[in-house]
Structure 1
Amino acid sequence: MLDLGLEGRTVLVTGATGAIGSAAARAFAEQGARVALAFRHRREAAEGLAVELSGPDRGRAFAVPYALDDAASPRWVVAAVEEHWGGLDVLVAAARRRGARREPHARFEDVPEEHWRPLVVDAFAPAIRTVQWAVAGMRKRGWGRIALVAPPHMPDGDPGGEFHEVARAGLRGLVRGLVGEVGGDGVLINAVCPGPTPPDRPPTSPDRPPIASESPTTPEDIARALVFLCSAANGAITGETLTLAGRR
């Protein structure tokens, strides 16, 4: 069996109460990692998941508040993990905000800023802040893994898809730009771009009839990819964006 080297590692998962975040947290815990669950609104869900993942050992998981729109939150949440466990080995940035659904026939030029700003700015600005604080300790210790979860891939022509593309481009640029700076310090950084997972898949519209052969990406599919990219078994993959679009 492939040894992923995650036993005893410390992992921070932002967006830990979402479908992808919670699946990732469970997957890391199954590998023996200690997991900090960053949440925004669903405190009870995060604390319940922490109890579930801790099992008999109550010290293997804990919940910590994290707000995308608070510039100080990334610093605080990374500091909380480092104080609790003495360091942070792995960051999985899965938190994101959703914009309001755009009308199917609305033109690009008619989309108000309050729709696209959460999709674009809040997709990568908090990730940049969190990576900044997380990577400092990783570089000092000479080992670290970072994975950014991009907004889900939307079908071509889906309303709002262009804004998701901008957000994904920002995250791809971040991972590519950091490779040369942090790679020499033992830190690998990648992004994962999921297909529409079941909770995120947009409703079928007259403009996009269902495809009988479609098999959407599941949160568990994404979690397995995140675990490998953030493990010791990955010693060379960095600066890449892995697309998991499911089968069509």
Structure 2
Amino acid sequence: MDVGLTDRRVLVTGATGGIGRALTRAFAAEGARVAVAYHRDQAAAQAAVRESGGEQRALAVRYDLADPACGDTAVGAVTDRWGGLDVLVANAIRPPTFRPGAASFEDVPVADWLPFVQDNLGRTVATVQAAVGAMRRGGWGRIVLISTHLVRQGAAGREFYTATKAALHGLASSLAWDVGRDGILVNVVAPGLTLTDRVAAMPRQVRAREAAATPSGRLTTPEEVARAVLFLGSALNGNITGEVLTVAGGH
């Protein structure tokens, strides 16, 4: 089936982690040109470029959420190379995702949590702004924001992390009204605990407990998350916008 991604220009942030790598593979397999946005692991980014068809079909771009210009830089690198941008998958996150240290929620200083929110939410919004400008010029676009099922379920110690992710849900639902008539669709994918290498290294009882909490009885794979993103980020998605798709085995 042709999903309408041949030669589409795709930017994936956080592209060298478990889910990010699956995302780049999925889009490249459909004929897209993929920009691999990475933070530190340049070797992993270059490996992803090779997997995605080499330098004729893929591009490694540095993307540091601590840098206020990271969105403009990454989108600019794609448009300079390929003349535009069609798809943005905002997957990058700056750790830690748990509350800093052993402090109670009310004891975490503003100076500790505010930079986390500024980097993870503010930089993502700025990246979306840069992407929307490029997509409006092209008259077509798909934006997929990666969140977490914990926004709905909640988890102790994850208050600041889930607050930044929940904000993406509001961003998508409202931005959809602004860009829809320009051919741009904006959605959120919220994975559950996903069987990346990092999760596979967790204690078996932790993984078993999480799997037992799902109707399917197992954890989601990165490839399953990537297929959901691919659908929303392709021409198969004709008119779904402002929505949240949870990929967590029913958890």
What is the TM-score of this pair, normalised by structure 1?
0.88
Task: Give SS of 1:210's match.
Answer: helix
Residue in 2 aligned with 1:62?
59
Matched, 1:192 2:195: no
Question: What does 1:23-102 align with in structure 2 at a 5 Å threshold?
Answer: 23-54=22-53, 58-99=55-96, 101-102=98-99
- How far did residue 164 of structure 1 move? 3.0
The question of whether the paired residues in 2 share the 8 Å contact of 1:97 and 1:118 is answered with no
Match of 2:107 in 1: 110
Query: Are residue 128 (structure 1) and residue 162 (structure 2) matched?
Result: no
Give the direction of change, closer, same or farther, for the CA distance of 1:212–1:62 in structure 2 (3 Å limit).
closer
- Whether the 8 Å contact between 1:152 and 1:164 is mirrored in structure 2 is no
Amino acid at match of 1:240: E
1:154/1:89 CA distance change after superposition, 3 Å: closer
- Of Structure 1 and Structure 2, the greater helix share is in 2
Cα distance 1:235–1:207, how it changes in 2: closer, same or farther (>3 A)?
closer
1:14 partner letter: T
Q: Is the 8 A contact 2:151 2:165 kept in 1?
A: no
**Which position in structure 1 is the counterpart of 2:241?**
238
Task: From the superposition, tell whether residues 188 and 233 of structure 1 become closer, same or farther in structure 2 (CA, over 3 Å).
Answer: same
Using a 3 Å threshold, how does the CA distance of structure 1 residues 90 and 156 change in structure 2: closer, same or farther?
Answer: closer
Shift of 1:72: 1.2
**Separation (CA, whole Å) in 1 of partners of 2:36 and 2:144:** 15
- Deviation string 1:135-176 (CA, Å, 9 cap, x unpaired) is 112112110000011145279563323323312221011111
Change (3 A) 1:207 1:36: closer
> Share of identical aligned residues, percent?
48
**Which letter does structure 1 place at the counterpart of 2:232?**
L
Give the SS at the match of 1:188: strand
Using a 3 Å threshold, how does the CA distance of structure 1 residues 112 and 219 change in structure 2: closer, same or farther?
farther
- Partner deviation per Cα, 1:60-100 (whole Å, 9 max, x = no partner): 01101111011112111111100101111100010001126
Ranges in structure 2 where 5+ consecutive residues have no aligned partner: none
TM-score (norm 2): 0.87
The whole-number CA distance in structure 2 between the counterparts of 1:245 and 1:80 is 33
**Greater CA deviation, 9-18 or 46-55?**
46-55
Shift of the 123–92 alpha-carbon distance from structure 1 to 2, 3 Å rule, reads: same
- Out of 153, 159, 164, the residue aligned to residue 161 of structure 2 is 164
More deviation, 92-101/30-39:
92-101
1:208-219 aligned at under 5 Å gives the runs 210=209, 213=212, 214-219=217-222
Instruction: String of CA shifts for 1:198-235, please: whole Å, max 9, x gaps.
Output: 34659569999935634222211110011000101101
Q: Which amino acid aligns with 1:98?
A: P
SS in 1 for 2:52: helix
* Greater Cα offset, 81-90 or 211-220: 211-220
**Please, which moves more after superposition, 97-106 or 204-213?**
204-213
Q: Structure 2 counterpart of 1:196, which letter?
A: L
How far residue 114 of structure 1 moved from its aligned partner, in angstroms, is 6.1
Cα distance change of structure 1 residues 209 and 102 upon mapping to structure 2, 3 Å threshold: farther
